[in-house]
Amino acid sequence: MKSVWKILGLSVAVGLSACEPLDDLDLGGGGTAGTVFSRGFVFVRADATGRNVYALDDNGNPNSPAQLTQQGGAYFPTVSRNGQLVAFVYRANSTSELRTVPTTGQGQPSTLVSSTNINCANCANFRYPTFSPDGRTIVFTLDKGGFAMLARVNTDASGFQILAGGGSYVYGPASFMPDGRSVLAAGGYSSSQLNFLIQVDMTSGTATPISTSLGNVAQVVVSRVAVSPDGTKVAFDGRTSSGSRIFVGQIGQQLSNVTQVTEKLGVEDSYPSWRGNTELGFLSDDGGNDNVYRISASSVRGSGSLSLVVPGALEPAYGG
């Protein structure tokens, strides 16, 4: 894999040399059901049946992730903080469903809400699910009546409702604050201009912008907003003039101290996830390959050490 990373004057090949189990990659069907998962990455991989959800525990073999779904059509997986449940979007033609599946890979996926449900009339294009800290609620984005809105549903399939949208703002990906009382979401005046960060109350749906810009370099949020476990920082993938990069900012009444963490020319860095409060996992298509890497959250424009974590992955999320 040819890289243009600048890491303390060394190429990413140095980081990869420490990951010898990845030398002989088997990107086939994945591991077996019943695999123990406590903490790690979930992601999508295209296989013989289409896009399916896989899970890789931090202590697992990167060459043999566990395959959790078989039907294909999977997008945007996310894992609960107890590491027991994955939520993802299933798409078939124009129908969207929010589904869950255990990280053990045992049992069939359960549908929580579908765009064909009577209580979700005219809903479409489900995306970006995220678990509440207690694992009981999922917030996700959907389209309804020409607006991108935030919706919520309980993991037992009860309590579906539109949380926010249809007014001043449209919404993209969201992430829960640690107390579970609100989410921090990308928003804006149009779905193509998600350049706000908006805190949305889970009870009232009240929307309070903490930023109407994303710093001096990032233009719009691409695919994820991720609040750190301690609630002090937010990571997001921001569009720049040369592709998307990973940024970190300080959360307060206003967003502050926004720093560009990654620096790659001509490729996309996206889908950041926190691994604790000091490290990020993210997706990069460097060299034409979609792989998950990890880097210090305090890195400035790729100055920190970089490690390959998961090969051949799409739309990764870390949790557990």
Residue 11: band (very low, low, confident or very high) from pLDDT cuts 50, 70, 90: very low
Rg of the chain over all Cα atoms, to the nearest angstrom: 18
Residue 36: band (very low, low, confident or very high) from pLDDT cuts 50, 70, 90: confident
* CB contact set of 9 (below 8 Å; sequence gap of 6+): none
Q: In whole angstroms, how far apart are CA 238 and each of 196, 226, 288?
A: 11, 12, 20
Tokens, residue 16: 């990869």
Position with higher pLDDT, 129 vs 29: 129
Give the distance, in angstroms, between the CA of residue 154 and the centroid of all CA atoms in the same chain.
19
pLDDT > 70 fraction of the chain, expressed in percent and rounded: 88
pLDDT value, residue 266: 64
Residue 153 has pLDDT above 80, yes or no: yes
Tokens, residue 21: 């189990």
Q: pLDDT tens, 282-320?
A: 999 987 889 999 999 999 998 888 899 999 999 999 998
* CB contact set of 239 (below 8 Å; sequence gap of 6+): 218, 219, 220, 221, 222
Mean of pLDDT values over 68-75? 96
Q: pLDDT tens, 206-240?
A: 999 999 999 889 999 999 999 999 999 999 999 99
**Taking the domains of the chain in order of start, what are their residue ranges?**
37-319
pLDDT value, residue 302: 87
For the chain, the straight-line distance linking the first and the last C-alpha, in angstroms and rounded, comes to 30
Tokens, residue 288: 């034409």
Residue 28: band (very low, low, confident or very high) from pLDDT cuts 50, 70, 90: very low
Tokens, residue 95: 């129908």
Amino acid at residue number 85: L
pLDDT value, residue 15: 37
- Mean pLDDT for the chain overall: 88
Third-level CATH fold of 37-319: Neuraminidase (2.120.10)
